[in-house]
Amino acid sequence: KNIEIELTDAHWAIIKFLRDDYATQGETATTRRVQAVGGFPIKEQFVLFPKKPGKKMSYIAGLPKPAGCV
């Protein structure tokens, strides 16, 4: 599966948040939680991970897709 995203420090900051949050919460954070708890605005998530940020972020982080993500 090739999603053609070149990872920058901004991408890695979100991926690190997702992995750390998953370790404490036991489930993958939704885009809303990544904004509320992680401090990464949803608009920024869409810029970094176009079209389906929740699915792409979790895939790159090696985590299950968030609940409610199709």
The active-site residue, picked from 13, 42, 60, 69, is 69
For 62, phi then psi, to 5°, come to 75, 30
28 within 8 A of 58, measured Cβ to Cβ: yes
Active site residue 52: no
**Upper half-sphere CA count for residue 22 (Cβ side, 13 Å):** 19
Catalytic positions, please? 69
